[in-house]
Amino acid sequence: MTFRQARYDEPLLCERMRPSPAEETDLFGVPSSLRRESLSLPDLPEHEVVRHYTRLSQMNFGIDTGFYPLGSCTMKFNPKFAEELARLPEMARVHPEQDPSTVQGILQILFELQGILAKISGMDAVTLQPAAGAQGEFTGLLLARAYLDDRGDGGRNEIILPDTAHGTNFASAGMLGFHVREIPSKDGRVDLKALGTAVSERTLSLMLTNPNTLGIFEEDVAEVARIVHDAGALLYYDGANFNAILGRTSPGTMGFDITHFNTHKTFTTPHGGGGPGAGPVGVKAFLEPFLPVPVVTFDGRTYGLDWDRPKSIGKVRAWLGNSALLLRAYAYILSQGSDGLRWVTDRAVLNANYLRHRIEKHLPVPFSGLRKHEFVASGEPLKANGARTVDLAKRLIDYGFHPPTVYFPHLVEEALMIEPTETESKETLDKFADALIEITREDPKLLRSAPHNAAVARVDEVLAARRPILSWRMLQKGKGSEKSA
């Protein structure tokens, strides 16, 4: 064990506020009905602010800190050159309302990226507007609805989801007022019989991740596509697991009509501790007229924006999308190229299968067969000693590893969803496997009281939800209750 996270009792900036002498601020320019006489925000010397955030950053684990095998999140190394590119003033200080003649560079990059993503996904057209994968799903479902309405086949309002689907699929369908029909899996794959029974003239779409969240490739995908299409519905590809298929297969080849990408997963734009991301959406040609406006165009000489698209679904966010992330994705794809991207998938799949091979005797991995970029193990055996998956996850922290995704997907008891990604070496994978195995043999007390080497001990999440204190203001209102909350 070599890991010790920094541990500061770092006060809140608001706790360091001092009553400042009355300001002589001239609010003349503000209408008298709206003048604000005081603002209670801290006033600290700049270097104290920098120290505050530097200390806080040292209590944060990122991919640059260590191995981060968070399943379905594809935590690979974020190349530093892409960060530098995104900071150039020609990216950062360019306004989206500028005249197209003054933004030919970024329009070229966006236009080319649309083409590149179309090729990677086997689709015909791409919009870069959605800000994240979930918004890509929202966009995709709006597109499917608009297309079916246009064809005189409106009124379809059911989304079919396998029980392995990501939670966002359910929420995106719900946000649009659609009904969700969940179908059970068979051997960790879509049950074709259940699918056949579920589809009807009410089905708008089946949303599917392939490989699915168990890391298992849906070998019957062509048959799935046939069933869905025969019912007059569209097939949506949840692109969260794209890292598993680059250059090996594509949503278009598999028969999908719509796909989203998560640039912060597959194309390694940094996730920022929770965002930003970008969620471009690719579609087959028949859906192209419905894409959000504006569409980036190129007439052979000049890049432009096309707003005149009568069938468009409109907009899902302001302006063109998370361009500074799309720029990073573009640069990353150029650096990898056709050979590199295929290697990405090959190595990601090799790493996942190798890691599974190393640990499956100690932590069972339900369902047989190959895995793609990730796999799901079960912490069930820990229960005999009075520990659970959550304890094992917290104990991994003491060994310097970020825990995997836990308790998802739901059809595996005590699930540990592990995605090593291609950027990790065999040495790291071996150390991680050794740690997992070691932990299964440790005194369960050590697990239940873990982590011991992080900035804080086990955090009481139940307390946080029972009595939410979400701001300094709320803390002040219930002053004195922090300890007894």
Kindly identify the residues of this chain, within the stretch 105-124, that bind other proteins according to CB under 8 A.
Answer: 105-106, 108-109, 116, 119-120, 122
Site for other proteins, residues 380 to 399, rule: CB under 8 A: 393-394, 397
What H or E segment, with its residue span, contains residue 306?
Answer: strand 303-306
- Angle at CA of residue 245, ends 106 and 347, nearest 5°: 100
Cβ–Cβ under 8 Å, residues 161 and 181? yes
* In the complex, least distance from residue 137 CB atom to other proteins, rounded to whole angstroms: 7
According to DSSP, the residues that pair with 260 across neighbouring strands are 281
Segment near other proteins (CB under 8 A); pick from 96-104, 194-202, 230-238, 434-442: 96-104
Position of tokens 């998938």?
345
The whole-angstrom separation of Cα 122 and Cα 378 is 35
Segment near other proteins (CB under 8 A); pick from 67-75, 192-200, 381-389, 434-442: 67-75
Among 203, 205, 213, 405, which residue sits at the site for other proteins (rule: CB under 8 A)?
405
Among 103, 148, 199, 234, which residue sits at the site for other proteins (rule: CB under 8 A)?
103
Segment near other proteins (CB under 8 A); pick from 53-61, 194-202, 281-289, 439-447: 53-61
* In the complex, least distance from residue 200 CB atom to other proteins, rounded to whole angstroms: 18
Q: Are strands 234-237 and 258-260 parallel, antiparallel or unpaired?
A: parallel
Burial 420-429 (b: 16+ CB within 10 A, else e): bbbbbeeebb
Token code pair at residue 104: 């030919």
Site for other proteins, residues 464 to 483, rule: CB under 8 A: 464-465, 468-475, 477, 482-483
User: What are residue 394's phi and psi, to 5 degrees?
Assistant: -65, -35
Of residues 397, 382, 403, the one with CA closest to residue 445: 382
What H or E segment, with its residue span, contains residue 417?
Answer: strand 415-418
Position of tokens 């920094």?
6
1 contacts other proteins (rule: CB under 8 A)? no
Q: Where are any strands of DSSP class E within 128-220?
A: 158-162, 179-183, 185-186, 189-190, 203-208
Q: Which is nearer to other proteins, 62 or 364 (CB)?
A: 62
Residues near other proteins (CB under 8 A), total: 193
User: Mask: binding to other proteins, 434-463, rule CB under 8 A, as x and -?
Assistant: ---------------x-x--xxxxxxxx-x
Among 2, 19, 97, 285, which residue sits at the site for other proteins (rule: CB under 8 A)?
97
Cβ–Cβ under 8 Å, residues 281 and 237? no
Cβ–Cβ under 8 Å, residues 127 and 295? yes
Q: Which is nearer to other proteins, 195 or 404 (CB)?
A: 404
Among 164, 185, 241, 250, which residue sits at the site for other proteins (rule: CB under 8 A)?
250
221 contacts other proteins (rule: CB under 8 A)? yes
The whole-angstrom separation of Cα 137 and Cα 172 is 6
Q: Which is nearer to other proteins, 195 or 313 (CB)?
A: 313
Q: How many CB atoms lie within 10 A of CB 5?
A: 17
305 contacts other proteins (rule: CB under 8 A)? no
Of residues 230, 239, 184, 177, the one with CA closest to residue 207: 239
Site for other proteins, residues 176 to 195, rule: CB under 8 A: 176-180
The whole-angstrom separation of Cα 468 and Cα 481 is 12
281 contacts other proteins (rule: CB under 8 A)? no
226 contacts other proteins (rule: CB under 8 A)? no
Among 19, 22, 99, 361, which residue sits at the site for other proteins (rule: CB under 8 A)?
99
Amino acid at 270: P
Token code pair at residue 49: 């602010």
Q: Which is nearer to other proteins, 76 or 233 (CB)?
A: 76
Site for other proteins, residues 328 to 367, rule: CB under 8 A: 330-331, 333-342, 346-347, 349-351, 353-354, 357-358
302 contacts other proteins (rule: CB under 8 A)? no
* In the complex, least distance from residue 383 CB atom to other proteins, rounded to whole angstroms: 21
User: What are residue 76's phi and psi, to 5 degrees?
Assistant: -105, 170
83 contacts other proteins (rule: CB under 8 A)? yes
88 contacts other proteins (rule: CB under 8 A)? yes
* In the complex, least distance from residue 141 CB atom to other proteins, rounded to whole angstroms: 10
104 contacts other proteins (rule: CB under 8 A)? yes
Of residues 315, 151, 310, the one with CA closest to residue 234: 151
* In the complex, least distance from residue 258 CB atom to other proteins, rounded to whole angstroms: 16
